[in-house]
Every structure is written in C-alpha cells, then in structure tokens.
Amino acid sequence: MNARLRFTSLRIALTVPVLLLMSVFVFMMIHLVPGDPVRTMLGFRATPANVRQVTSSLGLDKPLPQQYLDWLGSALHGDLGQDYISHESLTHLLAQSLPVTLELTLVSMTLAVLVGIPLGVQAATGRRWVRRLTEGFVVAGISIPDFWLGIMLVLLFTGTLGLLPPSGYVPFTQDPALNLRYMLLPVVTLAVAETAYILRTTRGAMEEVLDRPFITYLQAKGVRRFTLMFRHALRNASVPIATVIGIQFGVLLGGAIVVETLFALPGVGRLVVTAINQRNYPVVQAGVLAIAALFLLVNLITDLVIGLLDPRVADGAGQ
Amino acid sequence: MSAPLLELQDFSVAYRTQHQPVSAVSGVSLAVNEREIVGLVGESGCGKSTLSLAIMGLLPTATRISGSITFAGRDLSMLNEEETRQLRGDRISMIFQDPMTSLDPTFSIGSQVAEVITAHRRVSAAAAQSRAIDLLREVGIPDPAARYYDPPHRFSGGMRQRVVIAAALANEPALLLADEPTTALDVTIQAQILTLLRDLRGRHETAIMLITHDLGVVAQTCDRVGVMYAGQLVETASVGELFSAPRHPYTQALLAALPTTEHSPGSLRVIDGRVPDLTDPPDGCRFAPRCPHAMPECRAVPPLAADTDGHQVACWLDPLTRAAAGGTGSSGAGDSPPLGAEHE
Amino acid sequence: MATQGGHGTARRQMTGLRGLERRTKVGACILAVLVLVALFAPVIAPHNPEAISGNLVLGAPDAAHPFGSDALGRDVLSRVMFAFRVSLAVAAGSVVLALIIGTAIGLTAGYFGGWVDTLLMRPIEMLLALPALLLAVSLIAIVGPGSLVATLAIAIIYLPIIARVVRGSALVVSAQPYVEAARARGSSHPATMLRHVLPNAAPPALVQASVLMGFALQIEAALSFLGLGAQPPTSSLGLMLSDGRDVLSQAPWVEVFPGLAIAVTVLAFNLFGDGLRGRLDPGRATR
C-alpha cells in the first residue's frame, strides 16, 4: 500500500506545476491581445480618460511579474477580480456557473460510460449483427456534429412532439424534476458522441484482452462467462478505457461550451463565449482558467483510478 | 479392471483456416485410468496440446472434430456449454505452459485460487479464502496467509506455476491436464514442480495427463507414456517398457537421439527429414516419409494394437499390428480398434 | 455433434482484411465527390447562393430547390455548397498547416534527440493538456474572430498530435544504419532529414492527418456556430447552422441539410482514415 500512497501523492504533486503554468498562460491572454486590450474592451467609449482609469483599475500599468503575483495572490484568497462591465465579482459568477457545467458534463459522461461500456463488451463478444449495429452507431456518433444533433433533437422533441423545453435552466436544488427536464436534451446531445468513443475503445480493448493466454486459463477453471467478461477481461481492459475517458472529458468540456450556448444553459462555457463577444477579458480569463482547472482535476482523478485498477502501475513494475 | 477415467476413441481434430484445413490430430485412441500419470510426448506441433484443449472443450470454433471423448462415462461432445463449464476446474483441470501469462495480472493470486472454488461450490467467500490459503501452503508458497493478497507480478515463474497448480487442484478433480508445465521454468524448479505433482497425485488421487516434449520429464514422473507424431498416436507403454523396449521406429529414433555419455562428443544422432505439412499430410502412417524401414503398406494407417502387457504400437513392421489388422497389410485409412488396454 | 465452444466463444472473428479496404474505398469515393462539389461549386450550383427572392421564403424542398429555401428565399442547396467550400478550406488549411509545422518540429526533435527533443516537445505536449475547443476559443478570444484566425487556431490544436507522431517515427528511423551511412557520406543534417528520414517517418503522419480533417471540420463548424469563426457575409456550414435555428420549427430543412453535409463529410474522412490506419498500425485509439 505504501507504493500506492507514493504514487498518489506524486501524481497530485505533479498537477500543481501544470496548474501554475496554465494560470500563467491564462494571465498572459489579456496581454497578448494585439494593440491595447483596454481600448478594445472599451470600444467606442475609449476616451483617453476612460482608458487611463480602466487601465489603472485593472492594474495593467504595473510591471508584468507584479501583476501576475498580485493576480495569483488574490486568486488564492478567493478574489478573482471583477467583471469589468457589470462589476460583479468573478468568483461569484463562477460559483454560479460552474455547477451548471459540472452537472452537464458529469451526467453526460456517466451516461456515456453506463451505456458505452456494456455495449462495447457486447460488441467484442456478441453475434455478428450486434457487432455490425454497434459499428454503425460508433461511426455515426463520431461523425455527427454534436450541436447539430442537439438541434435535431430539439426539432423532434420540442417542435414535433412538444415534450421537452428547448432551452432554459433551473438549479437542481431548487426543483429537481424541472432541472432534469431542462437537462435531458443537452445531456443526451453530449452523451451520444461520448458513448461512441467509449464503446469503440471498450470494444478494441476487450478484443485485445480476450486474446491473451490468461483468458483461456480462466475458461479452463470453469469460471462463469459473466465473471470472465466483466470481472477479469474488463478490468484488464480498463486502463485504455479509463485513459480515453480522461481525454474525452476534455472534448466533452469543449462540447459543453457549444451545447450551453445552444440550450441557453448558464454555465461557464456560455459565460466565456458571451464574454468573448463583449471583449470582456477578465471574465474570459476566469472562465478559461476554471475550465482548464476542471479538466486537470478530472485527469488527475482518472490517473489515480487507473493506478487503482492496475496494481502494476502503482508498483511501477510494468509488464 | 475398472473402466478408464478418460477415453479417446479414434479422435481427430482439424483446424479450419483460410487455406487448407490443418489436420492436427488424426485417429487417436487413448485411455487414462484413475490416479494414473500418463505422459504424452512428441515434438512441437505433433498435436498433443490440441488434444488437451479438445478434452477441455477449449478449441476455437473453427475446428472440425470427429471421434469421441468419454470422461467418467460421459460423452464430452454431447455436453452443452454450461455442462462443459461445470466440468472444467471441478472434475477436469488444466494447467498451461507459461506461468507468467496464466494468471490475471490485476487480481491477487489468492483470489484467483478462491475463485475456482466459488465457481463450482456453494461456499462462503471466507471459507473459499481459507481453503485457498491451505492450498497455497500445500503447494509450497511461503507465508500463504499474507501473500494471498499479492498480485502475480510479485512472484517468480516457479511460484506462479505453483499457484496455478493450487487452483487446478482446489476442487479435487479426477483428472489434471498439464500442458508442458515445466518447459518455461529452469531445470531446478522443474524438478521441484514435477515432484510436487507426484505428491499431489498421491494425496488427492488425481490422474494426470502430462504433456511434454522432454523425455527426461516423462522418465521422472509418469507411469505410462504415449508417443505422438504429426497428429497420430504411434506407441503407448509403461515408462519402463518404453525406454527399455521401444517398438515404434519413431520412438526408437527419439531415444537414440538423446545425448548420452556413450557416444563420442560432438555427434548427436538426428532423425533425417522434416515433420510433414499438416495441411497436406501423407496418407497412412505419417512417419513413413522419414522412416528408415518404410514399406508400401505404410500408405495405409496402421491400427494401434496391444500386447498382453498393454504395450501398444501402430506400425506395420510390428507383428502386433499385423495381427490386429487381420494378417493383411492394409485396412481402411482411419480404422483403429479401440485402445488395447482392455486385453485381459 | 456439438462442436466444443470454449475459446471460440470468448471472441468472434473480426472482419478480415477485405472489410478494412472496403471502408477506405467507400470513404475515398465519397470524399472524391465532395471535393469535386467544393471545387466546382460556382459552376454546378443550381442557383446563386446570395439571390434573395421574396416569394420563395421558407419554401419546402422541391424539384427546383432540392434542399428548400431559407428565410430570405435563398436556395439552400447552393448555399450549402458554397458554405461547404469555406468550411472545407478552413479544415484543409488548418490540417495542412499543422502537418507542415508539426512535421518540421517532430522531425527535428526525433532526428536530433536529446535536449533538442526535450526543448521542442515539452511546450508541444503542454498544448495537448488543454481541451481542443477551449484552446481554440482562447486563441480567438485574444486575436478576434474570423476564418483565418480559426484556421490558425485549429492548426495550433492539431500540430502537437502530428509532431508527436512524426517524432516517434523519426526517432526510430534516425537510429537506422542507413541514416548514419548518409551522414558518413557527408550529407548535411537538413539534407539527411529531408531525403532519408522524412520519407520514412511521414506516412503515419499523413494517415493521422486524414483522420484529423474530420475533426478539424467539426471544430470549424462549432467555432462558426458560436460566432467565432467565419464572419458574415462569408458563410460556413457552422454559421448556417446557427442561422437556421431561428426558423427551425417552420423550415427545418434550413437546419438539417448543412448539418447533414458536415456529418457525411466527417464520416467519409473517418472511414478513409480509419481504414488506412488499420493497415498501418491496428489497435491504436484515436483522439
């Protein structure tokens, strides 16, 4: 167990520098804008007086390293600055929008895993028509643009069937049932592509594992087929599957940006997009940082889970 | 004499491939009695592994099988999948050649022994675990209670093979198929494992079919031996008889090829020629193309015939075979009387 | 008699080599048609995509307008064709750019190895740490929206993948004796890289690029949909999808066909690339 603890703490420790690096990149965003970012932000209101005022209020006249340290310092204290248009606290904005994005992405991923993995196992071991069907689904799922699928779903369920609302959001804590009604289409939209990827990876990994000698040995022991597939084969196949889930979460976050815009969900993704169109750089920075941090966190958890699944990884004794 | 535990009658296996089918086993009739250690010896590709897989029902679906396998009176080909599964690991067990790849790397060794118990018996997990620990101790794993939880990669090859054996014997099977169990291990460990197998046979009263290409292993461990060549069973005898009085030309050549201190160093006797291509095997006796005594009759399959001691041979040179075939040189290809072990 | 199941039932046989080739061929055929459409759109489009017509507003698909007409009476089919040109151009441009830059970086890193490798590949790998769309969105946030920026952004997203693939092959190829021999014969570094290492390290990158085309197209569509890619009056498929939402219930065809166009194109690229990759190195998961 000691080795595992070491592996875990090492992995966590490695995340910190990446997070810092990312914060630098995000911080630099506003400074990479061609021309004067304040002028761009203010647009037609860019009188010299206004420019000077906003520049100093944003602390943009101080030397770069100091700006970064100031920014980092207050960020660690929970103060990420202000939305310069509405002067709302960015921390507050994020606190409101992150849960929405989290709900969207986590539920989608969970759905995709619950559907994709068993189907993937079936695709590796089932009859011919099952394989053909899943293959078709995989190809369609990967090729169809998710936001178009979302729109088609809206067309079907809202337009034609009138079953589900096309947009809007209600927090889960406020009204669970209504929240689920609003989230159903967005979640399904995102989950389809994810399911396709997970299915494909599961199928490939299972096929590879089922070719290995220890499977024959398990059969020789008279182990039940279900045990063989889901306890042994799947566990051995789980490393590539978990890896893909980690990577796909990033894709999912990207997709969430679009889906939130599509369904008017007040999440971080839509926040960022709106802010970009408004040239509201502080919000863009905070939003990008939040999404990137979320992605890093998920990857960390994925890596730790992989360490749990395969004892060889934690021990460092690769084979 | 009681009925044999395992009986193969005119058993053949052909693998279907994209090209010609591969005739891996042809017309084999063999018996294994209870508590007996029978060796099955032959070079790589002679079909001995295929035979063991066939008994376990582990051949790929693209195979054509003919003949019969009877175990404890039941025709194995008539069993459905669930019945076959119930036999495996319970009445018939199998251990494989490479211990490094036999175990699931993501589970502890102890759980892999316990699981063969729970797959076939209604016992609690705790009971299975405790029995597994006993088994691990019996096969010589040190500190079994603690090492129960260790994953396979923390063990050497010899140790892993012991774990595999423990799992194989957990349910006290009547028959254990051991496919080259020591080939991947070094010689000192090999001796330990073979001794272990003999001991376990004594304690658990299990019959063992030991498949190997190594005549030394056979001499050390087996009661009886069968010799296979290119899918055909050419001779069976008790170990002593086989080594002292081999009757089949192939067996004789094999024994002659063993390095001994008598021959001058640097001169190993070899058998001329090559193993036949099993997609297009020769008619009749498959050793004929390489046999120094080949005759025209050898184009028909010689039946396996036995003498009063149970020494069987399939060769037209041998008077036993000629007598079994009714005095004439040729009988239809594929004809062989059931194993002669029943001759009173 | 019942054939012994066992090992056979643990895994059915896969479609053989023929299945793979078929996939590639089908993909290639579709792509050929699509590329022709894109190239000759001005010639084969049935109507002027910008032609506004009052009485054709939101007309359902018929013989004259197979894809129907939109809110301004414009022929959807023609619009799709021209928008397709733009989307394809962005996707192709970005992948080609990623290919060129990524190959250059990967080749250099793999050829020289050592500290050059580390120096070049570390920042590249950091780019991979961010989700693709997020990175693109961030870059556009800085520079401002537009097709050109989108092309650049997508190229930046995908060049690490190309660089990694090329670096891997280049490492292996550079260690081969014939490369050493070339150096011994006095060939300079650049010449050796170009003449000996590149031809052998390139193929996997090209295969990867064909798969990336599909993804690039999707990202372009997403960016345009968000208003961050192609800007009006230029029309791309993503932009059409965004506009089509306004009339979704009355005239769904305005929304359906651009999306279908994207789906079919991505499908074709995937089929083509997957088949190729299966040939080259089976068993590798994609992005």
pLDDT of res. B176? 93
Helix (H) or strand (E) holding B237: strand B232-238
**Mean pLDDT of all residues belonging to chain C:** 80
Chain segment A60-75, per-residue pLDDT in tens: 777 777 777 777 777 7
pLDDT at C13 over 80: no
Averaged pLDDT for residues C3-20: 41
Pick the residue from chain A with its C-alpha nearest to B83. A222
pLDDT of res. B314? 83
pLDDT of res. A116? 92
* Closest residue by Cα to residue A149 from A89, A194, A206, A207: A194
Pick the residue from chain A with its C-alpha nearest to C264. A143
Residues C52, C74: Cα–Cα separation, whole Å: 5
More confident of the two residues C20 and C85? C85
Residues B276, A208: Cα–Cα separation, whole Å: 32
pLDDT of res. C7? 38
Q: Which residues of A are less than 8 Å from B151 in CB distance?
A: 311-312, 315
Q: Which residues of C are less than 8 Å from A26 in CB distance?
A: 138
pLDDT of res. A115? 94
Chain segment B106-123, per-residue pLDDT in tens: 899 999 999 999 999 999
CB contact under 8 A, B120 and A222: yes
Give the range among A169-183, A216-230, C260-274 with minimum mean pLDDT: A169-183
Could you tell me if A318 lies within 8 Å of chain B, comparing CB atoms? Answer: no
Max Cα-Cα span within chain A: 83
Residues A286, A271: Cα–Cα separation, whole Å: 10
Chain segment C34-75, per-residue pLDDT in tens: 888 888 888 887 777 777 777 777 777 777 778 888 777 788
pLDDT of res. B340? 38
Residues B109, B128: Cα–Cα separation, whole Å: 13
* Closest residue by Cα to residue A242 from A66, A119, A83, A113: A113
Question: B276: Cβ–Cβ under 8 A, 6 or more apart, which residues?
Answer: B230, B282, B286, B289
More confident of the two residues A114 and B285? A114
pLDDT at B252 over 90: no
- How many CA atoms does the CB half-sphere of C245 hold within 13 Å? 20
pLDDT level of residue A300 (50, 70, 90 thresholds): confident
Distances (CA, A) of B204 to B96, B170, B175, B198, C111: 20, 10, 10, 10, 63
Chains in touch with A (≥3 Cβ pairs < 8 A): B, C
Under DSSP, the state recorded for B29 is E
Task: Calculate what percentage of chain B has a pLDDT beyond 70.
Answer: 91
Asked whether the beta carbons of B56 and A220 are under 8 A apart, the reply is yes
pLDDT at A307 over 90: no
More confident of the two residues A39 and A247? A247
pLDDT at B255 over 90: no
Pick the residue from chain A with its C-alpha nearest to B171. A221
Highest mean pLDDT among B72-76, B173-177, B274-278, C179-183: B173-177
Task: Calculate what percentage of chain C has a pLDDT beyond 90.
Answer: 10
Instruction: Scan residues 102-161 of B and list those with Cβ closer than 8 Å to A.
Output: 102-107, 115-116, 119-120, 151, 153-154
Pick the residue from chain B with its C-alpha nearest to C2. B77
Copy the structure tokens of residue C203. 């193929």
More confident of the two residues B342 and B167? B167
Could you tell me if C54 lies within 8 Å of chain B, comparing CB atoms? Answer: no
Residues C158, B189: Cα–Cα separation, whole Å: 53
β-sheet with B37-41: strand ranges across: B92-95, B175-179, B207-212, B37-41, B224-229, B232-238, B312-313, B305-306
pLDDT of res. B262? 64
Asked whether the beta carbons of C212 and C173 are under 8 A apart, the reply is no
Averaged pLDDT for residues A255-269: 88
**Mean pLDDT of all residues belonging to chain A:** 82
Averaged pLDDT for residues C240-264: 84
pLDDT of res. B63? 87
Task: Report the residue from B85, B102, B107 with minimal CB separation from A222.
Answer: B85
The stretches of B78-124 forming alpha helices (DSSP H) are 81-87, 99-102, 109-118
Indicate the burial class of A19 (C-beta count within 10 angstroms; 0-12, 13-18, 19 or more): middle
pLDDT level of residue B268 (50, 70, 90 thresholds): low
CB contact under 8 A, B81 and C5: yes
Copy the structure tokens of residue A122. 């079936």
CB contact under 8 A, C4 and B63: yes
Q: Which residues of A are less than 8 Å from C228 in CB distance?
A: 273, 276
Asked whether the beta carbons of B321 and B336 are under 8 A apart, the reply is no
Could you report how far apart the first and last alpha carbons of chain C are, in Å? 47
Question: B323: Cβ–Cβ under 8 A, 6 or more apart, which residues?
Answer: B305
Chain segment B297-343, per-residue pLDDT in tens: 788 888 888 777 778 888 888 887 777 776 544 444 444 444 434 33
Q: Map residue B211 onto helix, strand or coil.
A: strand
Amino acid at residue number B193: I
pLDDT of res. C30? 87
Residues C209, C162: Cα–Cα separation, whole Å: 7
Phi, psi values for residue A318, rounded to 5°: -70, 150
pLDDT of res. B162? 92
pLDDT at C276 over 70: yes
pLDDT of res. B334? 43
* Closest residue by Cα to residue B231 from B30, B68, B48, B66: B48
ipTM attached to this prediction:
0.82
Asked whether the beta carbons of B25 and B13 are under 8 A apart, the reply is yes
The stretches of chain A forming alpha helices (DSSP H) are 2-32, 37-42, 48-57, 64-76, 90-125, 128-143, 146-154, 176-210, 213-220, 225-226, 234-263, 268-277, 281-309, 311-315
Amino acid at residue number A190: L
pLDDT level of residue C230 (50, 70, 90 thresholds): confident
Q: Map residue C217 onto helix, strand or coil.
A: helix
Token pair 């890619």 in the structure block, residue:
C229
pLDDT of res. C252? 81
Could you tell me if C8 lies within 8 Å of chain B, comparing CB atoms? Answer: yes
Asked whether the beta carbons of B101 and B87 are under 8 A apart, the reply is no
Token pair 């006290």 in the structure block, residue:
B172
Mutate which: A23, A24, A151, vs C, most C CBs within 10 A: A151
Chain segment A197-246, per-residue pLDDT in tens: 999 999 989 988 998 889 999 999 999 988 888 889 988 888 888 888 88
pLDDT of res. B317? 81
Q: How far is C132 from chain A (nearest CA, A)?
A: 7
Q: How far is C266 from chain A (nearest CA, A)?
A: 5
pLDDT of res. A132? 86
Copy the structure tokens of residue A116. 């994709």
Pick the residue from chain B with its C-alpha nearest to C11. B60
CB atoms within 10 A of CB B183: 14
pLDDT at B1 over 70: no
Q: Which residues of B are less than 8 Å from A223 in CB distance?
A: 85, 89, 115-116, 119
pLDDT at C155 over 80: yes
More confident of the two residues A51 and A129? A129
pLDDT of res. A85? 65
Chain length of chain B: 344
Compute the 3-state secondary structure of chain B and give helix, strand, coil in percent, each to the nearest 5. Answer: 35, 20, 45
Phi, psi values for residue A258, rounded to 5°: -75, -45
Asked whether the beta carbons of C108 and C120 are under 8 A apart, the reply is yes
Q: Per the omega criterion (within 30 degrees of 0), is the bond before C233 cis? A: yes
Residues C207, A170: Cα–Cα separation, whole Å: 45
Could you tell me if C80 lies within 8 Å of chain A, comparing CB atoms? Answer: no
Q: How far is A200 from chain B (nearest CA, A)?
A: 22
The angle formed by the CA atoms of residues B223, A217 and B212, to the nearest 5 degrees, is 30
pLDDT of res. B265? 62
Could you report how far apart the first and last alpha carbons of chain A are, in Å? 19
CB contact under 8 A, B96 and A216: yes
